Structures are given as C-alpha cells and as structure tokens.
Amino acid sequence: MIGDIEVRFEPQGKRIRIRRGQNILEAASRAGILIDAPCGGKGLCGKCKVRVRNEKLVPSPAEEKLLSPEEIERNIRLACQYFPQSDVVVEILEPAIESIGKVELEKGLFRIRSRCPVSKFFLSLPPPSLEDQRSDEERLLSALAKADRIAPFVRLRLPKILREANFQVTATVVEGEVIAIDKGNTEREIYGVALDIGTTTLAAYLLHLPTGTKVASYSALNPQTIYGADVVSRINYTIEKKEGLAEMRQRVLEGINKLLDEVCSFSGVCKEKIYQATVVGNTCMTHFFLGVDGRNLAFSPYVPAFSRTVQLRASEAGLDICPDARVYILPNIAGFVGADTVGIILATGLYKKKGFYLALDVGTNGEIALGSREGITVCSTAAGPAFEGAHIQFGMHATSGAINRVYIEDDVRIGTIDGGAPRGICGSGLLDAVAEMLKAGLIDSSGRMLSPEEAEGFSPALRERLLIYEGDRCFVLSRAEENALGRDIFISQRDVRELQLAKGAMRAGIEILLKEMGIEARQLEGVFLAGAFGNYIRRESALTVGLLPPLPLDKIFMVGNAAGRGAMMALALPSALRRAEEIARNCHYIELTASPEFTNYFMDGMLFPEYNVLSFK
C-alpha cells in the first residue's frame, strides 16, 4: 500500500511513501530503520524520539508529558505520536539497530568441541553416454557410500550444476541425504550458524564446523521491538491485528537474515555454505520464528503450542542459507522457560554437576534453573523490563554511552559503555547506582531515597545531587554539561521502585527453587549469571541489592551469552543436540503464579538487605 505522503529519513537518506493516518514509527519500520519503542508505540515510554525538520508541530499531550521543554523547542517529537499530513524530513536521533549491531571477527580465538555432523565429498563423476544413461541422481548417489537420497533443492539444481562443472562436483551429506551440490572442490567450506533470538537482541554465531571454530558473530536489536519491548505486547499485536503473526515472523526473519548477511560478508563466508543452524530463544520467540500462534502463552495456564525439538529445512524456516540445510529449534521447557534456558543449562553443564548450582538469565523475564546431575528445577519470573533499561526515566539498552558503572564516595564517579559521553542508564548501571546509594546510606533498606533536606550529614557534592523533579526524589548521576543529552541524568525514587520489583521477583524465584530442592543458599556450589545483563553487572552490586542470596563473591560466575553458547554446542556436536532434548524433558518446572508462597517471598525480596549484614567481601 503506497501512500501519497513522502517521508525522508536523515541521516540515512531513505525515502518512503505513506498514507495519511500512518505514524513515523511505522514509516521508519517500513523503511528498514528501527526506532526503539519499548511501549510498542502507545505513547507511554517516551523513547521513540525523532526531530522533525521542515514542519513546526504542536506537541500532543503525551509529548507534553514525556518530552522536556528544550526538546519540544528543538522540534523533537515522538515517532509514534506524529502522523504527517504532508511530505516531511525526519531526523533519526538514535537508530536502534546501528547502535547495537556489532560484528566480532574471531579467528581461532574461540573453539568448541566439535564432531561435525556435515560431510563433504569431492567427486569426479563419469559423464553420461548412450552406454551409461543413469539419471543424474543415480550417478551422484552411486558415487557416495554415505548417502542414499537427494534433498529437494539438490534435485532441482543437479542437472545444471553437474554439466556446468563438467561432472566435477562436491556433495554435502547430512544423515544420508545430499543437501547441497557445488561446482568443483569445496570440501573445506563447511559452516553452521547458531542463532539466539532474544526478545531484545538477536545474535548469530558463525562456526566452521569441522574445527568448531567461531569465525564471526553479530548481534542486533530484534526488529520486533517496534511492537513493544516485552513478549506480551507482541502477542497482543498478533491477536489484535489480522496477519499480525505473519508480520511478526517476517520481522524476525528479516532481522536474522540481515545478521547472516553481515556475519557472512564480514567473514567472507558464502551463505550457501552454511549447512546447519540451531536456534535458541524464549518460548514466545521460537513460536514467532515458526509463525506459530503464541496467544496461549499470554493467558493462564500459559501453554506453549510445542515444546520438543523442531527440525525443518532452511527453506521452510525462511533462513537465507543452504536451502536444504537442517535447522533445529532447541526444545522449550514451559511457556516462559524456553530453548534459551535449555541452552544455558547445556552450556554451563548444570545437568552434570556434582553439587548444586544456580543459573540465572536476568532480563525482562527472568529464568532461573537450580540443580545438579541429580535433577534440575526451573521457574520463570516476570521481573519487568527494568533490567533492560525500560520503564526507567533515563533507561536505555546496554549500548554505547549507557552509564553502566557507578561509584559513590564523596562524590559520584560513573563509567559508560565504550567510554562515550553519557546518554542514559542501562540495567547494570541502575543496579550499580542503587547498590552504591544503599552502601552510602542515600537509600534505606525499604528503598526510600533521602530527600535533599534529610541529607545533611553528606558531602556537599552528594547533597547537591539530591533534588526533587516533578514531585519525585531524584539523585543526579550526570550533569547536563557533562553528557550528550544536555540535561541532568538521574535516578528517581520511581526508578528505585522499578528495580525493587524486578529484583524482588528474581529473588522470590530463587528462594522458591531453593525451598523446592530442600537446600539452603550456602549449600550452592556456584551461581551462573547469564545474558547481556549478566555480562555487565558487578557481582558485588548484585549481592548488595539482594538480587542474589548472600554468597562468597568467588562462587558467582559471569557466563555471558550462555544460551548462544549452548546453541553453538548443539550445532557442532550432535550429542549435545540430543542432550538438549533430554534436558528439556527432565527439567521440573514450577509455576510461580500457582505457588501460594510467591507473594510472601516477593514482598521480602523487594526489600534491600541491611547493609551491615553483608559480608561477602
């Protein structure tokens, strides 16, 4: 549907035609430019800021509320609130995808154990003649001891490739099936890709399968983000809009195929030479990836459509790799404990540990697994998006310029991701700030922040940072003149409450699992912190705010994207793929919403520990 209004996006220079009644958020998304909009374009989060160049606009009520007078003066508006009436030029202030996307080229740095499931054979076949009229298929298969059939796309391509290559070809074989045919000798080019479909972030890991070497990896914002930061908004979109589910699938496929483009062009690997893919993601993301209705995940009893390992071909999955490549979606455990958790359990080896270990994936939705080789219990808890920087006044994703480290002594010192000028606060920065404020006494164990008047005993520098903004107590982390925003970046009392809700939910989950397994926190051999958040977090802060039960620091391990690593293991090692299925089948799932004790643990968990009881140093 092409409309009659032209929107030009700068600095990208992209133009798109829209109809009256479409907003800039939709227009940008159609133009392939992602604007972060955690609330899904409802005018609630105030994140989707753009600057309108050639038109002076009256701000909407939502904009009046969510934008500063300076921003309104600069003609900054919310993309979701702006419905152009005529041709317009719009300036994108922070394109979400460019700022997160990052290719990592890794040569021989990272290797995993591999038992390559894909074999390649260079063949010099006799050309057909009146004495040898075997079909192309027969000619190929009779030269291959390890294959007895050809895949659909091979059947289509075989006649042409055989003749163009003068019958000198390389056959790719998986489980007795020829899945690809190349001209000449390409025996060494065997790649696989592990995909992690997060609600927020997509990641692709390209592996050279015979050696288990990670060749490159890439991550980018999940383009579905425009439908909302959390899975429930996205499920709602698929319920409310006809074709919404197909759209949701299309989005994530576009995002993944773009990742594949990047990772391949960067490493010089031909996409057609990727012969296997594994996929992890939370349950809802795996549903969307397959185009399966996930509406039942949003309502009690939160039942997924499928949970076992799914196997299909790349052409069916919509992945732009070798079309007959096998794609495996790792199994889900429950509606809110997905294949990503299975990946974490696989990667951390939780299922084979002698003692008890805890594995946490901290995010909008927190997944928690507790167990040993004797058995694993898992649960999921709706922590809310505070850990991802959403619902926080100056919250942002963990990208360049995000405040991620806070130290408070006589004054405040901050650190940012990539060392850039501060632009906002990410989840780990929030956690750090609150932990330091707790230690300094600026927040008490109930979470109450001191008012400027109550801070008499503090240094003047700290006192000056306490202020009241729109009736709410605030603590300034970065002054307007020091940062990229041109206004004070602060933590508000409300932000502290958001963090309390998030960490309270996580902690309640941990306590219920401990109780279920009949053990105490001190019996834990270790805690694995996984996920992007888990990578940036300071262990001390996690303990200070009570996200984790009291434990010695050296028992806490930051394991980064363990879900992605699990996907890589399942890619390179067929036994790991089978193990994933066993893990999912044998995990004991606890539904927290059905647990009568959850509310109590949640209330307790929201409180901060008294600072003097902390003895983890």
Residues of the shown chain interacting with a copy of itself in the complex, contacts defined by CB under 8 A: 128-138, 141, 149-150, 152, 155-156, 158-160, 163, 290-293, 295-296, 300-308, 310, 312, 316, 332, 334-335, 589, 591, 593-594
| Size of the chain, expressed as the number of residues it contains | 617
Ordered alpha helix ranges (H), 83-151: 96-100, 136-142
Query: Is the CB of 301 or the CB of 375 nearer to a copy of itself?
Result: 301
Task: Output the CA–CA distances (angstroms, integers) from residue 249 to 224, 261, 318, 328, 457, in the order listed.
Answer: 9, 18, 9, 17, 56
Rounded Cα gap, residues 503 and 354, in angstroms: 28
DSSP H helices in 268-313: 283-290
Residues contacting residue 104 through CB under 8 Å, at least 6 positions apart: 216, 217, 218
- CA atoms of 354 and 372, how far apart (whole Å): 6
* 469, two tokens: 């903004």
Q: Which of 87, 591 has the CB closer to a copy of itself? A: 591
Token representation of residue 479: 């002054």
Q: Report the interhelical angle of 231-240 vs 283-290 (nearest 10°).
A: 30
What distance in Å separates the CA atoms of residue 470 and residue 244, rounded to the nearest whole number?
A: 38
The string over 391-421, giving b where at least 16 C-beta atoms fall within 10 Å of a residue's C-beta and e elsewhere, is bbbbbbbbbbbbbbbbebeeebebebbeeee
- Cβ proximity to a copy of itself: between 241 and 352 the closer is 241
Beta strands in 286-422, from DSSP E residues, in sequence order? 310-313, 326-329, 357-361, 365-372, 375-382, 402-408, 412-416
**Three-state DSSP class for 59?**
coil
Instruction: Round to the nearest angstrom and report the end-to-end CA distance of the chain.
Output: 62
Q: How far apart are CA 529 and CA 558, in angstroms?
A: 5
- Single out the residue of 364, 365, 333, 335 nearest to residue 350, CA to CA: 333
Structural Rg of the chain based on CA atoms: 26
Tokens of 171: 């056959």
519-556 burial, b if ≥16 CB within 10 A, otherwise e? eebeebebbbbbbbbbebbbbbbbbbbbbbbebeeebb
